[in-house]
Amino acid sequence: MAYFPTTTNNDSLPTDVSTVRFSDLDLTFAKNPLTNDITPLKNDEAVKRSVKNIVLTNFGEKKFQPFFGGNTTAQLFENFGPFSGREVSSAIKRCIRDNEPRVNQLQVLIDPKPSRNSLNVTIRFTIENSPFPITVSLALERLR
């Protein structure tokens, strides 16, 4: 997670405008054709990728931080019940609030699919200093 405060001076604006930019590595490692370097993710896309990575990380996968992540895929192996979606939703909210300080106004919607052993997760949030809502959709499936 990179945090770069930048200021721009535009003659049409009476004062300096401060914008915050976030950047992160693209895990597809796509190559920029001009620079032959890895193409970075910027701003909204960087935060979306961070939220997705946090939610999909299980407990114990990150060294020296045994409770980092949402542990959501491990919860898919529990029996589906009336409170399964609520438990996963609260786990996702907890892990994002604890590990992603750039996210505000968090809302998690769970659509359980017990016959397919999967959950459709929709995460809606805003980024700090931005009024525009962002949506991340994930399909969590139990694999054997």
pTM of the model: 0.77
In a domain, residue 12? The reply is no
Identify the three-state secondary structure at position 52. Answer: helix
CA distance 7 to 33: 28
In the three-class reduction of DSSP (H, G, I as helix; E, B as strand; rest coil), residue 105 is classed as strand
CATH code of the domain covering residue 121: 3.10.450.40
Taking the C-alpha atoms of residue 3 and residue 47, their distance in angstroms, rounded to an integer, is 11
pLDDT for 5 equals 53
- The C-alpha angle 68, 101, 39, rounded to 5 degrees, equals 85
Question: What is the rounded average pLDDT of the residues 32-45?
Answer: 86
Structural domain includes residue 11:
no
Q: How many CB atoms lie within 10 A of CB 44?
A: 13
SS3 89: helix
Is 7 domain-assigned?
Answer: no
- Tell me: the pLDDT tens digits for 40-81? 888 888 899 999 999 999 888 888 988 898 888 888 877 777
Residue 87 forms part of a structural domain:
yes
Residue with tokens 């694999």: 143
Q: What is the mean pLDDT of residues 105-125?
A: 90
Q: What is d(CA 135, CA 122) in angstroms, rounded to the nearest whole number?
A: 7
Residue 126 structural domain = 43-141
Q: Tell me what pLDDT residue 43 has.
A: 84
Residue 8 lies in a domain: no
Q: How many independent structural domains does the chain possess?
A: 1
The closest alpha carbon to 100, from 19, 27, 1, belongs to: 1
Q: For residue 132, which of 47, 52, 55 has the smallest C-alpha distance?
A: 47
101 within some domain: yes
Asked if residue 4 is part of any domain, the answer here is no
| Average model confidence (pLDDT) across the chain | 82
